Chains A and B, each alone.
Chain A
Amino acid sequence: MAQIFPKWTDEAPRRILIASIVLLNGIVFGIWYFFSPEFTQVGYAPEQPVPFSHQVHVSQLGLDCQYCHTQVEESKHANIPATQTCMNCHNQIKTDSDDLQPVRDSWESGESIEWIRVHQLPDYAYFNHSAHVNVGVGCESCHGRVDRMEVVYQAEPMSMGWCLDCHREPEKHIRPVEEVTTMGYEAENQDELGRELVSKHNINAPTYCQACHY
């Protein structure tokens, strides 16, 4: 009887088997790595209507985060400052800057400046700024070194796994409440201080589903 298949097919089953194992693992790894917010979100730096530089305002001028983001201690939402806050200074400083034209327009018309949101959590995840800021989770722990950012970008993945990294071991990340807005804070002995603060504030970071999804 004539041969139906050429000789190379002898090796085909083994190769197909190995290829499918590699492929399946590749798919799992690929989704785990390339679809994660760490890959897709970190570094997101949209161009804002006003080229506001945090680096200039925080590092050079020494503004505190809460000078503009006033409600973080009381509200679940960390507010974007009103045009009024900008105009406190800019009605006297750089009053003819082209970059500031949208701010002056907003001041004239009463329409808000449409800033572009950088940190976007999904609607089903409820994050509360006040709950975190008031027990000593630093701004930079989630937002990175904003004082060095010419343009604000997303520094951390904000994935659920990333949230849980801290919720499972808050003592490794927590700081005294008065240091919350400090940029580049480093404790001498984080382990000891962290444990002390956890017991002082009675921190019991929840890891059950409905803590954030309700």
Chain B
Amino acid sequence: MSKTYEYVPEPALVKGNHDFSSITALVTDINMRPTPKGWYIAFAISNMLLLVLLVSIAYLIWEGTGIWGLNQPVGWGWAIINFVWWVGIGHAGTLISAILFLFRQGWRTAINRFAEAMTIFAVMCAGIFPAIHVGRIWVVYWMFPLPNQMAMWPNFNSPLLWDVFAVSTYMTVSFLFWYVGLVPDLATVRDRIKSKVGKVLYGIGALGWRGSNRHWWNYEKSYMILAGLATPLVLSVHTIVSFDFAVSLIPGWHTTIFPPYFVAGAVFSGFAMVLTLMIICRKIYNLEDIMTVDHIEKMNLIILVTGSMVGFAYLMEFFIAWYGQVEYEKAIFIIRATGPYAWAYWIMIACNVISPQLFWSKKIRRNVTLTFIVSIVVNIGMWFERFVITVSSLSTDFLPSSWGYYSPTIWDVLTYVGTFGLFFTFFLLFLRFLPMIAVAELKGVMPQADPHNYDENGEYVEPKVEVPEPKKLNS
């Protein structure tokens, strides 16, 4: 019995009939044409939200952490929930830029710049919460091991310190990765832009890039090295964030499944956020030829996989609670699903486990509107996951006499809402002033970058090289 297999070529990564110069124009013209009115409106709204954040932080510093809804027994509330949520969102950046790069996934080039920018801004939003929650913010540098006259040193046994290192390393490497990738594209904008100021500013960013062979060689090497450095970070950051919980002894937190479960959840939420932003931007900036439905489908597959992993982890937590036969562990999971926070638990299950299952259908995977809705639902679900973990375990801990119900205050809410202002302020500046797609890399995955000089029958054809006639100088 024999079966003939047909070769199905990969669908082209860039749709439409583009050549190199039209791609350059498509992406970098966004930075060079006058600012559209819609951008100003969006920027004004973001700025107002940013102001909300600044006011909330100022009042927090003035009045102290008592303005938040924290008290016994729930000493960790929205601040850590938002921290973990934003860091999780920041995970898509390194996964797309580092791991998919090392696995030679050509489709990443359409979205990596975008995802990396989102990562950096998300980690900035995340970093705010550990910085402002300390109460006496003027001694926040105590988090770092700096020599001082108090002979005081951070506690190296504490995962909270590991967090400082994990997140700051992640931020640094993500930023470097993003910037290194930007250099050739900044040079492109520098060469195309007309204004003198623009030339100088983009020129500073381009670090004297001339596109020589040596430049490219150095660029490729450094990009590869950074990808190698960033790959372990994809796993390490959220592993260590999960240690904030797992290393403690609180029932529902003290489990070994936390690191893989947090990493999967982080990638899950990160991809969802990239999709949310990407679907809006490709529409507004007419980039459907580059960020195609094929890209959306591939990302939806990752959402399906990681969403199912998260769902598996939820089930496994219940199984191990029963299998381990620890009274408190068993109790906390029953309380989670049926107790005072059951509403949050079932929102989480509905958003994180059930909604991505839609993507088993190819039709839905390729449906932009539905994808957009699910991507938002997933991020709501991931916020509730952190809420359930943090609040339910603390509010019903070992001592029933100290059980309590946690509610946020208006300041918790405003601080969280304000971080969106910070995020979108930076993101809009990025969209306006930096090429949002890695133009140089994108050209590398186009068919024009890979000329083979064979015709359909496999016969060698002399490449046609057009040598322009030398211009005659007027003498």
Contacts and interface: CB of A to CB of B under 8 A. Distances in A.
Interface of A: 1, 4-5, 9-10, 13, 28, 31-32, 35-38, 157, 159-162, 164-165
A130 to B, nearest CB: 25
Contacts of A157: 149
Q: Which of B147, B151, B203, B207 has the most CB of A within 10 A?
A: B151
A160 B147 contact: no
A34 to B, nearest CB: 11
Contact of B208 (A5, A28, A31, A37): A5
Given A1-B191, A28-B146, A161 B151 contact: yes
Nearest to A160: B150
Contacts of B146: 28, 31-32
B150 A159 contact: yes
Given A4-B199, A5-B200, A10-B208, 4 more contacts: A13-B207, A36-B149, A160-B152, A161-B150
A28 B148 CA distance: 9
Given A1-B191, A5-B203, A32 B152 contact: no
A117 B23 CA distance: 75
Contacts of B147: 28, 32
How many B residues touch the partner, as a band? 10 to 19
Contacts of A37: 149
A10 B210 CA distance: 13
A36 B148 CA distance: 8
Nearest to B208: A10
Contacts, number: 39
A9 B148 contact: no
Contacts of A32: 146-149
Interface of B: 146-152, 190-191, 199-200, 203, 207-208
Nearest to A35: B149
Contact of A4 (B148, B151, B200): B200
Contacts of B150: 159-161
Q: Which 4 A-B pairs have the closest CB atoms?
A: A161-B151, A36-B149, A160-B150, A159-B149
A178 B247 CA distance: 50
Contacts of A5: 200, 203, 208
A58 B149 CA distance: 32
A43 to B, nearest CB: 16
24 contacts: A4-B190, A4-B200, A4-B203, A5-B203, A9-B208, A10-B208, A31-B146, A32-B146, A32-B147, A32-B148, A32-B149, A35-B149, A36-B149, A37-B149, A38-B149, A157-B149, A159-B150, A160-B149, A160-B150, A161-B150, A161-B151, A161-B152, A162-B149, A164-B151
Nearest to B152: A160
Contacts of B190: 4
Nearest to B151: A161
Contact of A160 (B151, B200, B203, B208): B151
A13 B200 CA distance: 15
A21 B207 CA distance: 19
A136 B426 CA distance: 62
Contacts of A161: 148-152
Nearest to B196: A4
A78 B200 CA distance: 67
Nearest to A27: B146
A14 to B, nearest CB: 11
